[in-house]
């Protein structure tokens, strides 16, 4: 499980808020269409004069719920256009997910190709509605794993990929899940764009040896990357209610926005 349903993204450090956007930009809930005709929900937060790249937010296993709508708004407050997507249009229809959403049966029906098709549709929506030409995925937990795997797909045209505590080997917590969930360690050598990985040192789902193996594989593949572990931080530490991890969250914000400043203007 990732965040509690009532979790909220940490506020941006004050010096990272674009002054004219203080308070953020409200997200608009959209319905997008994937290449296979599937309709799925997304939350778009856009601002005039936004910096490139634009952000495609990949949620945890519960799909599009309030945390990720707010997160898109946080990125807008930092001067970036952002869209957060839902994974489950094919099996659960459209709409924001509620606290009672039984996510796991739907999560297990997702596939890498369908997630990539939905990322492509979100990319196209950003391009059409905001004029964005450069795109970076930012994912959390299940979405972090998806972000790392998306970095291996040249057809998505990404400029970079960011993952917060994306599980690197799903067999670690559920033997046999390697065939059903994204498995970044199995594909890391095919990574094609810069990567930022942010992990908790006390995350029981992602041991230090997996993080080290991920870091080393990116190095061996010649991929520009940064892998950061926050000592003592648990899974899903990026939560405003976790006062004891506020420093880690603030540092994570700085690293994310710094990474966005460094990636190419277009893929």
**pLDDT at residue 22, as a whole number:** 43
- pTM as predicted: 0.95
Domains of the chain, start order? 24-262 (3.40.50.1820)
**pLDDT at residue 267, as a whole number:** 52
Name beta bridge partners: 174: none
The verdict on whether omega for the bond into residue 53 sits within 30 degrees of 0, i.e. cis, is yes
Name beta bridge partners: 45: 82
Cβ distance 218 to 227 under 8 Å?
yes
| CA separation for the pair 170, 173 (Å, rounded) | 6
**pLDDT at residue 21, as a whole number:** 46
Residue 61 main-chain phi, psi, to 5 deg = -65, -15
**What is the pLDDT tens value at each position of the chain, 267 positions in all?**
576 677 889 998 988 887 654 444 689 999 999 999 999 999 999 998 999 999 999 999 999 999 999 999 999 999 999 999 999 999 999 999 998 999 999 999 999 999 999 999 999 999 999 999 999 999 999 999 999 999 999 999 999 999 999 999 998 877 778 878 999 999 999 999 999 999 999 999 999 999 999 999 999 999 999 999 999 999 999 998 778 999 999 999 999 999 999 997 655
| CA separation for the pair 208, 204 (Å, rounded) | 10
| CA separation for the pair 9, 27 (Å, rounded) | 14
| CA separation for the pair 63, 100 (Å, rounded) | 12
Tokens coding 216: 């080393």
Distances in Å between the alpha carbon of 153 and those of 114, 159, 185?
13, 11, 15
């Amino acid at each position: 499980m990732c965040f509690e349903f009532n979790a909220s993204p940490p506020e941006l450090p004050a010096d990272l808020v674009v002054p004219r956007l203080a308070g953020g930009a409200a997200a608009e809930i959209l319905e997008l269409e994937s290449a296979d005709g599937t309709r799925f929900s997304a939350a778009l937060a856009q601002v005039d004069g936004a910096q490139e790249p634009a952000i495609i937010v990949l949620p945890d296993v519960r799909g599009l719920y309030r945390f990720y709508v707010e997160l898109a708004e946080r990125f807008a407050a930092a001067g970036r256009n952002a869209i957060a997507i839902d994974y489950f249009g094919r099996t659960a229809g459209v709409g924001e997910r509620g606290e009672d959403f039984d996510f796991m049966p739907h999560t297990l029906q997702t596939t890498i190709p369908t997630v990539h098709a939905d990322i492509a549709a979100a990319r196209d929506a950003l391009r059409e509605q905001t004029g964005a030409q450069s795109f970076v995925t930012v994912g959390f937990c299940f979405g972090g794993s998806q972000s790392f795997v998306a970095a291996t797909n040249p057809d998505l045209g990404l400029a970079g990929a960011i993952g917060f505590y994306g599980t690197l080997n799903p067999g670690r917590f559920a033997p046999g899940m390697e065939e059903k969930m994204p498995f970044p360690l199995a594909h890391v050598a095919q990574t094609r764009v810069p990567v930022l990985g942010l992990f908790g040192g006390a995350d029981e789902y992602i041991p230090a040896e997996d993080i080290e193996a991920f870091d080393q594989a990116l190095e061996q593949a010649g991929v520009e990357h940064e892998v950061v572990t926050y000592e003592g931080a648990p899974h899903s530490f990026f939560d405003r209610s976790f006062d004891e991890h506020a420093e880690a969250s603030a540092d994570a914000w700085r690293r994310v926005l710094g990474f966005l400043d460094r990636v190419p203007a277009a893929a």
